[in-house]
Structure 1
């Protein structure tokens, strides 16, 4: 059985990716910071009980090392990896006013931790390995009041393309998906503060709605599959036309 890693697999796009890969016959390893969310998901989806879950905060070097040491000792190698983990943005607001520690926290979790995961994943892969980085349309355009998040995602875009070129001769394909607004628990939390936020944001999207997590995972699944065997270093934008507006 082939082995796949999905970081941040307890909710939203990550959880949907885990479920999809289980359905496709993979042994899935996943992690998140909140075990209670994972346990709740397992009650809803009993198939998750076959997943190898670890409580991991990938922004902490010791945690990240524990994750990959576990994979290496139990599975020896990886066939697929999806770098999805991304907590709530800590550095919202005008760039010059945001606390330095919050700027650094965003850079650490949305770029540096992703880069370290990518490094370890490549080392565990052989010819035929595939990696998908979950980026964002904010890595393709300016994002006022979330400048460091945008910068981190721009950096992830550049890393994806560069490392894709480094590794394609080894038979390892690396690509990215850039979701637009996607209805996940993070947006549900924001809706508690602003009950109209779903409609307000939907009105800005040419498709006039949020994406469902499954629509983003359709793109991830395509990039992980042999159907995308000639796609290298590409970012597949799934945003309902938002970046065109």
Structure 2
């Protein structure tokens, strides 16, 4: 863990946030705009609340929407081009778009089976799981693009070249899933373990070139990622379980950006009313309200029912 050589304020800065059309990322975009930071909202579409931000913030600060499929690398490059055109670049990048291993890209529904949309034959024989493309490859590629832009600014760039005296920020969204196993969604679990490792591995960038890479690891968050997905919501017992509100996570993300003690390589767990640093050595795991779902066993039972079906995993021939 490291600390920045220069203080960082979001006031007057610009940000790119993927997945900001809804949920946690929308709340982070809203918070930055309230603090006079321009925002490029990159997503496939906008929920009404995100469209309201676009309509509301048209002067300074401004919110700009760019339609982006985060698995398309050309479109990731384009969102940086839009930030350059509209704001002279970005000082803060949040590759926040992610999914929770839905049935259409799920380990327990292999490519080629009825529920899966993943192609069993790939492209020229090279296969992809959409879950991993969105949750791992997209934040890694976005981070590469951000670092490259900061090391090689254009003559018209307002963001300038990154350095300890001109710091930049990359904030990832991990999960408490990056600390523990879950039988029903092993690819999602693997993706969040991967993001935690990625964040920690880039800690040295902050003292070297002024780029801080860190992130948040939320618990059970009341967002559409949970509330609009029946396969996930079945695990929640509203009488027992406690939701963490997305605004709490957005505030933690802001801390990752501005607080000197929350340096590069830092993974910040966000539960109900509490945050803590998640170390990679001897960490006790998530504990507290917002860390558990009482009915997780129901999802496990459903997986075992799928495995009992005749011909599990056999590709459906056309």
Higher mean Cα deviation, 134-143 or 173-182?
A: 134-143
Write the deviation string for residues 189-241 of structure 1: whole angstroms up to 9, x where unpaired: 136x898765x1662xxxx410010111111011111x235522010001248
- Residue 248 of structure 2 is matched in structure 1 by 215
Contact (CA 8 Å) 1:91, 1:148: kept in 2 or not?
Answer: no
For the Cα contact (< 8 Å) 1:58–1:113, is it kept in 2? yes
1:243 to 266, 279, 286: 286
After superposition, give the CA deviation of every residue in 1:138-181 in whole Å (9 maximum; x if it has no partner): 11211211111111111111111112223431111111100111
Go from structure 1 to structure 2 and tell me whether the alpha carbon gap of 1:98 and 1:68 turns closer, same or farther (over 3 Å shift): same
Q: Which deviates the most, 231-240 or 158-167? A: 158-167
For 1:132, which of 171, 188, 191 is the aligned residue?
171
1:88-107 CA distance string (max 9 Å, x none): 52358984553372871111
Q: Please, which of 116, 125, 135 is the counterpart of residue 141 of structure 2? A: 116
The answer to whether 1:141 aligns with 2:180 is yes
1:189 is the counterpart of 2:201: no
List alignment gaps of at least 5 residues for structure 2: 1-11, 113-117, 120-127, 151-161, 275-284, 289-318
CA–CA distance in structure 1, aligned partners of residues 86 and 232 of structure 2:
45
Would you say 1:232 and 2:285 are equivalent positions? no
TM-score scaled by length of structure 2: 0.66
Equivalence map 1:38-187=2 (5 Å): 41-43=50-52, 46-49=55-58, 50-90=62-102, 95=107, 97-99=109-111, 101=118, 104-125=129-150, 126-127=162-163, 128-187=167-226
Aligned to 2:159: none
Q: CA RMSD in A?
A: 2.8
Aligned-partner Cα distance in 1 for 2:44–2:109: 28
User: Contact 1:91/1:146 (CA < 8 Å) preserved in 2?
Assistant: no
Following superposition, the deviation at residue 65 of structure 1 comes to: 1.9
The structure with the largest helix share of the pair is 1
Provide the TM-score with structure 1 as the length reference.
Answer: 0.84
Q: Indicate if the aligned counterparts of 2:222 and 2:246 stay in contact, CA closer than 8 A.
A: yes
Q: Which runs of 5+ in 1 are unaligned?
A: none
In structure 2, how many angstroms separate the alpha carbons of the residues matched to 1:77 and 1:22? 16
Counterparts of 2:216 and 2:232, CA distance in 1 = 28
CA distance in 2, matches of 1:164, 1:75: 27
In the TM superposition, residue 186 of structure 1 has moved relative to its aligned partner by 2.4
Residue 40 of structure 1: CA displacement?
Answer: 5.2
CA–CA distance in structure 2, aligned partners of residues 45 and 167 of structure 1: 32
Q: What are the Cα deviations for residues 46-77 of structure 1, in whole angstroms up to 9, with x where unaligned?
A: 53453011011111122112212222344443
Q: Which residue, 32, 37, 41 being the options, matches 1:21?
A: 32
Shift, 1:23, TM fit: 0.7
Asked whether the 8 Å contact 1:160–1:176 carries over to 2, the reply is: yes
